[in-house]
Structure 1
Amino acid sequence: MEMQAAEAARRWLAEQGVRQVHGGWASDDEPQVLLTTSQVAHSWAGDVFAEDLDAADQVRLAFGLLDLLDEYWVTCEVRFANEGADGPLPGDVLWDGYRRRLEADRGAEAVTYSLWVDWFEDATTSAMAFAEVLGNDTDRLTAGPSEGLLRRARRVLECSGPVRWPVKEPTYRAAARLPALHPAVLRGLRASFHDIYGDLEPAAALALLDRLDLPADIEHVAELRHVLAAGHKNHHRSPGAWEDAVRSCS
C-alpha cells in the first residue's frame, strides 16, 4: 500500500516538473540545481492540498509524498490543512494513514516525531490523537496482537510522554502485560518524566515500572524508580531531582 502511495506521489511530482535524479531531485525549470528531499517537501508538499481532488484523496497523496520523501515537513502540511479554512481533513483517512505507517516494517521517525511535537504536545488534540493511533486498540493488545500492532504500540508508547496520564495509563497497563512491550513502556515512562510537557502520576507510574521485566543492561531504571518513589512528576518541575537520583544510584 505504501509503495503504491509513493509511486502515485512520484507521478504527481513529475506532473509538477520535479523528478528524482542521481543524488537527489531536480525541477524541470532548473535541472542543473540539485534539490534535497527537504527542499522538495518544503516547496511542493503544501500544493497537494490545492489539487482538484476530494479531501480524502489529498490526504492519501500527502501520505504518499511522506513515503517517498520521508520528511517531517510533509506531516506539517497535513496538520496545516487539517486546521485550515477547508479543514478538518477526513479523520478516518488521516488516522488510517498514521496507523499504517506506524505498523510498517520500515523507519517511522517522521511520523513519530509528528505525533510527539504536533499532536501529543497540543492539549487540544493529544487525547484524540492518542486514541486514534493506539488507545482505541488497547483491548487488542492483550488478545493476540499482530506484529504490526506491536510495532505500532512500541512506537506510540515511546513518544507518548506529553499525553495526559489518565488518557494513556490504561494502554500502558495493557502493554505491561506483554513482555515484548516492556522496554517501550519504560521509555514511555521516562519520556513522561523528562519531556517538558510530560505527564505522569508518580505512585501509579512506579507501580507500573515495578511490573516490568527489563534487560539488565537497560539504562536509567534505578534513577527513574528513585524520582518516582520521591513523588516527582516531571523533570522540569523538580529541577535537580534527576541529578540527585543519578548520584544516589551510582
Structure 2
Amino acid sequence: MRLAFGLLDLLDEYWVTCEIRFANEGAGGPLPADVLWGGYRQRLEADRDAEAVTYSLWVDWFEDYATSATAFAEVLGNDIDRVVSERSEALLRRARRVLECSGPVRWAVKEMTYRTAMRLSALHSALFRSLLASFHDVHGNLEPTAALTILDQLDLPTNTQHLAELRHVLSAGHKNHYRSPGAWGDALRSCS
C-alpha cells in the first residue's frame, strides 16, 4: 500500500488508483480498510491537486452500489461532525472534494452528511455543486424535495450559475437529467 500510494503521489495518475482497487478486490484483498481509506483521506486533505483521487472516488467507488456507501462513509460521512467542529483547512478541503464528486452516492447514504455540512457556509458552494452533479450525473442520485430543502438553505451568490435552473427542476420533482431528458432544457428556457 505504501508503494501504491507513493506511486500515486509521484505520478498523480488515475491508473494507480485502479491498481489499488484491483488489489482490494483481488485474491489478496480486501486491503486493510484503515490504510486504504486513510490513504485516500490524506490525499484529499493535501494542499495539492487531487484529481486522480476524486476521479477514482467518483467512477470507481461511488458509482458502484456495492462500494459507494462504505467509500463515502470512510472519506467523509463518518467524520463530518469533526469536519464541522474543527473547521481546519485540510478537513474542509477534503469535504469539498468529496462533496463535489458524490453525485452517484445514494441519497439515503449522503443526505445526513449533506445536512450536517450545511452548518458550515464554507461548504455551501461544494454542496451546491454536489446537488447539481447529483441531478446531471448518469448515475446521479437525489430526492427532489429533500434536495430542494437543502438548496434553499444554502447561502449562495444570487448570480450562481444554474442555481435557478436546479431549483426549477427540483421543484418540478425531477430526480435525474437522464430520467427526465427535457427537464433541464425547460428550466433553461424558463429561467432565462
The question of a shared fold, defined as TM-score above 0.5 by the shorter chain, is answered with yes
Paired residue type of 1:141: V
Residue 120 (1) aligns with residue 95 (2): no
CA contact (8 A) 1:121 1:163 kept: yes
Q: CA deviation at 1:108?
A: 0.3
CA contact (8 A) 1:138 1:170 kept: no
d(CA) in 1 for partners of 2:121, 2:134: 20
CA contact (8 A) 1:98 1:133 kept: yes
Moved beyond 3 Å, runs of 4+? none
Q: Which runs of 5+ in 2 are unaligned?
A: none
Identity %: 78
The match for 1:231 is: 173
The match for 1:189 is: 131
TM-score normalised over the length of structure 1: 0.76
Residue 163 (1) aligns with residue 105 (2): yes
d(CA) in 2 for partners of 1:247, 1:60: 52
d(CA) in 2 for partners of 1:137, 1:85: 30
The match for 2:122 is: 180
Residue 152 (1) aligns with residue 94 (2): yes
Paired residue type of 2:54: T
Cα deviation digits, residues 152-196 of structure 1 (max 9, x gap): 000000000000001101111111111111000000000110111
Q: Which runs of 5+ in 1 are unaligned?
A: 1-58
TM-score normalised over the length of structure 2: 0.98
The match for 1:74 is: 16
Q: CA deviation at 1:215?
A: 2.0
d(CA) in 2 for partners of 1:231, 1:60: 46
The match for 2:76 is: 134
d(CA) in 2 for partners of 1:87, 1:138: 28
Aligned residues: 192
Paired residue type of 1:240: G
SS of the residue aligned with 2:157?
coil
SS of the residue aligned with 1:210?
helix
d(CA) in 1 for partners of 2:21, 2:113: 25
More helix by share: 2
d(CA) in 2 for partners of 1:93, 1:233: 35
CA RMSD of aligned residues (A): 0.7
- The higher relative CO (CA closer than 8 Å, separation ≥ 6) is in 2
The match for 2:49 is: 107
